[in-house]
């Protein structure tokens, strides 16, 4: 449904700085000190044309023409998606944890609070686009780096092409977007460029992130399967395991790259990212399987017969450029 989580810039917790100062007063004072904050928003030059060019590039690879990214809505800052899951409920399908999505962050927060009161773990994910509904070009997508724009556009339009079980569709769309982004910049800018280097860095970071997610997910799943009946003990052991995972994450990742995971590392986030991570190595392996038939590649990533065209898209992309050393191997 959505591209890999957006990498947000470093955030700072304001509470210790505010004291008793009302938030509105604080923000107004901050704007007064920073004239740029009160200026009208300026659309990044060339962003619209680049997004249209990326969409056309995807169509040339076999992704179908869609109504996505045909209109521009810079008034929409981003799209907020709410996931919720009961505690101790790893292994749920993506469709079971997805609740709703929309442009109004406050409305999504209110919905999340209802689930928190029910004892659910929640995850609110802010993305630039979704695959359905003729998604417009949002302000978040316009402001993105060129490498992220390429990834998002190709990823969401890949969903339109695939339309299979999301446990397969998400990792395959991720691979199409990863390899496709590199192919786009290699051909559009010629050879090695800054945007191509960023694509490679993003892919390597995602390799590490998803490998970490799978490790934590498997450890928690094993723990949950052996927990005692006592509710208090169960909750204590669960919290201790998640705290250890957060400490491990802090040792391995820069908060500027993957801060969302440190702040929101819980059952809902792990279940969500597991949708990407579990079949991702197989999808990369399928993309690199030049010597096999489309049917064999489809079998490798466990696609149903009706989705064998996904294998052809992967193969077409892989032929546009070599796989990277960071590509994970099939497990």
The overall average pLDDT reported for the chain is 79
DSSP code of residue 292: S
pLDDT at 198: 93
**pLDDT bucket at 17, cuts 50 / 70 / 90:** very low
DSSP string, 192-213: S-HHHHHHHHHHHHHHHHHHHH
pLDDT at 163: 78
Give CA angle at 153 (263, 58), nearest 5°: 145
**CA nearest to 9, candidates 135, 121, 101, 126:** 126
122-160: pLDDT as tens digits: 999 999 999 877 899 999 999 999 999 999 999 999 998
pTM: 0.81
> Does the structure show a pLDDT above 70 at 299?
no
pLDDT at 19: 33
Buried/exposed code over 246-262 (b: 16+ C-beta within 10 A; e: otherwise) = beebeeebebebbbbbe
Give CA angle at 59 (54, 65), nearest 5°: 105
pLDDT at 51: 96
pLDDT at 324: 44
Give 280's strand partners. none
**pLDDT bucket at 294, cuts 50 / 70 / 90:** low
Angstrom distance (rounded) from CA 115 to CA 326: 38
**CA nearest to 138, candidates 62, 91, 82, 79:** 79
Average pLDDT on 72-82 reads 92
Cα 106 to Cα 12, 101, 111: the distances in Å are: 20, 12, 9
pLDDT at 296: 61
Average pLDDT on 242-266 reads 81
Beta strands in the chain (DSSP E): 72-73, 79-85, 98-102, 121-127, 137-138
Average pLDDT on 205-220 reads 92
Average pLDDT on 57-78 reads 90
pLDDT at 189: 86
Average pLDDT on 62-90 reads 91
Angstrom distance (rounded) from CA 220 to CA 256: 26
**pLDDT bucket at 221, cuts 50 / 70 / 90:** very high
Question: How many alpha carbons lie under 13 Å from residue 155 in its C-beta half-sphere?
Answer: 26
């Amino acid at each position: 449904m959505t591209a890999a989580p957006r990498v947000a810039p470093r955030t700072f917790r304001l509470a210790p700085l505010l004291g008793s100062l009302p938030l509105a007063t604080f923000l107004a004072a901050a704007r007064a000190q920073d004239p740029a904050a009160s200026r009208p928003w300026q659309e990044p030059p060339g962003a619209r044309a680049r997004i249209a060019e990326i969409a056309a590039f995807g169509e040339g690879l076999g992704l179908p023409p869609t109504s996505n990214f045909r209109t521009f809505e810079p008034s929409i800052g981003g799209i907020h998606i709410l996931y919720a899951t009961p505690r101790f409920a790893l292994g749920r399908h993506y469709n079971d944890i997805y609740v709703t999505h929309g442009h109004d962050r406050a409305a999504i927060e209110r919905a999340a609070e209802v689930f928190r009161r029910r004892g659910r773990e929640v995850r609110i994910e802010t993305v630039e686009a979704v695959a359905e509904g003729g998604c417009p070009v949002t302000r978040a997508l316009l402001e993105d780096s060129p490498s992220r724009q390429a990834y998002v556009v190709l990823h969401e339009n890949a969903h339109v092409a695939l339309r299979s079980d999301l446990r397969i569709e998400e990792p395959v769309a991720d691979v199409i977007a990863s390899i496709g982004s590199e192919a786009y910049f290699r051909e559009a800018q010629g050879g090695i460029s800054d945007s191509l280097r960023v694509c490679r860095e993003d892919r390597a970071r995602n390799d590490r992130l998803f490998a970490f997610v799978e490790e934590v997910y498997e450890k928690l799943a094993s723990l949950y399967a052996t927990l005692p009946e006592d509710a208090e003990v169960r909750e204590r052991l669960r919290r201790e395991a998640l705290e250890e995972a957060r400490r491990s994450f802090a040792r391995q990742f820069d908060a500027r790259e993957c801060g969302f995971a440190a702040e929101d590392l819980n059952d809902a986030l792990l279940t969500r990212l597991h949708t990407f991570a579990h079949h991702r190595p197989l999808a990369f392996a399928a993309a690199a399987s030049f010597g096999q038939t489309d049917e064999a590649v489809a079998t490798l990533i466990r696609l149903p017969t009706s989705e064998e065209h996904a294998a052809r898209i992967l193969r077409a992309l892989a032929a546009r450029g070599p796989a990277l050393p960071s590509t994970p191997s099939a497990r």
